[in-house]
Structure 1
Amino acid sequence: MPPLAGTAEAGGSLADFIWFRTGGAAEWLVRPRDMADLAQFLAALPPQMPVLPVGVGSNLIVRDGGVPGVVIRLPKAFAKVAVEPGNRIRAGGAAMGITVASAARDAGIAGLEFLRGIPGTVGGAVKMNAGAYGREAKDILVECTLVTREGVIEVWPLDRLRYSYRHSELPDGAVVVEALFEGAPGDPVVIGAEMDRIAAEREASQPLRSRTGGSTFKNPDGHKAWQLVDAAGCRGLRKGGAQVSEKHCNFLLNLGDATSADIEDLGDEVRARVKAQSGVDLQWEIARVGVRK
């Protein structure tokens, strides 16, 4: 491993913090001290070594054989959130969506309330154009700062990410270390009420207190994924220790003893049943990474 001011852990556990609490270890789990440390590390890393940035793993299946190469996890030093002029919020890549939404509320900045309903980090939200409650990252992003796999620090304006549904053109191995968001002037009381509504709606409709991975499948054009899953008779379907949530059919659950293979195989079974029932080819929204055992 190249020199690092932060930490590099061989065989670092990912199941300790991934939402599903399953899966193998990282070959190397790296936590850089700051942006310069990360850039220097990546620049010196052999080019054939794969790099995977991971936030809190709220939309991720880590396969049971582990993840080859380097997994980058940004520590709390990258979680700062600051209000800037022009109804703007600058947030570190490790900041949580709820933290950004709360800072915007306190500053009277409207338009970022939906981040209250996204249980991941800013880095993950920027990379996958995360969205909820009618808005997505592309609606509020001004620019993001990233460290490329080659160790170059770059600032990308919104247009360069070429956003589509749950997808961006960020290059493989690039780490989003910061994002600049912009909203509109608003009343903190009204903003707070909308955030409370979102929180209550999530609580009522989603299995928040379970070991899950968020929305499993993308919504196909003209359809809701959960409705297709339900219509195919998959509500409550089980495979090993994994189950399709009975509360919300677009969530998979680890009932306690699931392997990552159980979860992924269950998802593929759901896809097959939906295809047979409706002809719709559901696409994974959850990322699956690593090696199958």
Structure 2
Amino acid sequence: MSDMVQPDDRSDRDDGSAPTCAVEGAVDAPVPIADIRGDLTRDAPLKKLVWFKSGGCADWLFEPADLADLKLFMERLGGSMPIMALGLGSNLIVRDGGVPGVVIRLGKPFSECEVTGDTTITCGAGTPGILAASTARDAGIAGLEFLRGIPGTVGGFVRMNGGAYGREVADILIDCDVIMPDGELVTLPNSDLKYTYRHSALPEGAVVVSARFEGTPGDPEEIGAEMDRIAEARENSQPLRTKTGGSTFKNPGGMKAWQLVDEAGCRGFKVGGAQVSEKHTNFLINTGDATSADIEGLGEEVRERVFRNSGVALEWEIQRVGRP
């Protein structure tokens, strides 16, 4: 994981450890494809699209051409299959059995970010955090610097109330545009999302397509200096140059997850090809050949050891999706 967007390598295999991608019964397209302009792929490998570089395939992967294309696709799907949106694949474990239903990947058509008011910016759901923060900086809009420190894209931030360095999306979101599972496009204000720590009330299968954020007037040089401070702090404390998925566990109230993991003796602990980072113990890493089962199993073993040591039941922050 790093502040640079991960390469979009769509090759089906990179070694012999990739899982089989056969999906029983998924022969025909899930919707009539007339007038659908995006790419719809059956049995699509996902491991190249997530930062852990592990996991199975999507029954179907849809990469819409634009908002209208996505809306038409979801209207035709009509909530008949599970839907999962995918951005940069940062805070995500895709299990080795693959993801049922349709994975919707929001790429370049959803990555525009522009200034839309004196202290507001509007970003597509595929906008990386670093781009959102930089757009605000260049416009002299303060308060969004923390987005520089969150790996991933706006759609994921909005759904999970992403945060870092003392701030979170709930502090800056005005509203967001969302396509509901039945294809209806709605605008939801911040209050409707009922944000709590790393959680929102967005229903399963709803896809965030854009969001509006509000900051305060600021000096671009001071904003840039704060962004540089955040970048340096991440570089010094986190294993950015490894195959990882960001912060693994939520911080329990008044405590730090990394400290609980460290005190339980888990620094450097391994399961298969997965390891607890030596640099930051709230990060799991793929040392090269880990399966998603290795990574998830390591996380569960860490949770067990922490509970035995401290009595604290850590909660996963990384999303785990798909079939075991």
Runs of 4+ deviating beyond 6 Å: none
> Could you tell me the TM-score, scaled by structure 2's length?
0.89
Q: Which runs of 5+ in 2 are unaligned?
A: 1-29
- 1:171 equivalenced with 2:203 (yes/no): yes
Distance across 2 between alignment mates of 1:237 and 1:172:
34
Q: Which residue of 1 aligns with 2:25?
A: none
Distance across 2 between alignment mates of 1:51 and 1:121:
18
Aligned positions of 1:1-293 closer than 5 A: 1-2=30-31, 3=33, 4-45=36-77, 47-292=79-324
Deviations 1:215-237 (A, max 9, x none): 00000001100000000000000
Give the letter aligned to residue 95 of structure 1: T
Secondary structure, aligned partner of 2:254: coil
Q: Answer whether contact 1:111 1:183 (CA < 8 A) is retained.
A: yes
Q: Answer whether contact 2:91 2:319 (CA < 8 A) is retained.
A: yes
Q: Answer whether contact 1:242 1:253 (CA < 8 A) is retained.
A: yes
Deviations 1:63-112 (A, max 9, x none): 00100110000120110001011300000000000000000000000000
Q: Answer whether contact 1:54 1:71 (CA < 8 A) is retained.
A: yes
Give the letter aligned to residue 28 of structure 1: W
Distance across 1 between alignment mates of 2:209 and 2:78:
21
Distance across 1 between alignment mates of 2:79 and 2:145:
40
Q: How much does 1:46 deviate? A: 5.2
Quick one: structure 1 residues 46 and 146, their matched pair in 2 at CA, closer, same or farther if it must change by over 3 Å?
A: closer
Give the letter aligned to residue 266 of structure 1: L
Q: How much does 1:48 deviate? A: 3.2
- Matched residue pairs, number? 292
Give the letter aligned to residue 272 of structure 2: G
Distance across 1 between alignment mates of 2:51 and 2:181:
26
Q: How much does 1:198 deviate? A: 0.2
Deviations 1:257-291 (A, max 9, x none): 00000000000000000000000000000000000
Q: Answer whether contact 2:89 2:152 (CA < 8 A) is retained.
A: yes
Secondary structure, aligned partner of 1:16: helix
Secondary structure, aligned partner of 1:277: helix
Aligned sequence identity (%): 62
Distance across 2 between alignment mates of 1:162 and 1:47:
23
Distance across 2 between alignment mates of 1:183 and 1:93:
18
Distance across 2 between alignment mates of 1:242 and 1:229:
15
Q: Answer whether contact 1:86 1:182 (CA < 8 A) is retained.
A: no
- CA-atom RMSD, angstroms? 0.7
Give the letter aligned to residue 49 of structure 1: M
Q: Answer whether contact 1:97 1:121 (CA < 8 A) is retained.
A: yes
Q: Which runs of 5+ in 1 are unaligned?
A: none
Distance across 2 between alignment mates of 1:138 and 1:176:
15
Give the letter aligned to residue 45 of structure 1: L
Distance across 1 between alignment mates of 2:78 and 2:46:
23
> Could you tell me the TM-score, scaled by structure 1's length?
0.99
Q: How much does 1:47 deviate? A: 3.1
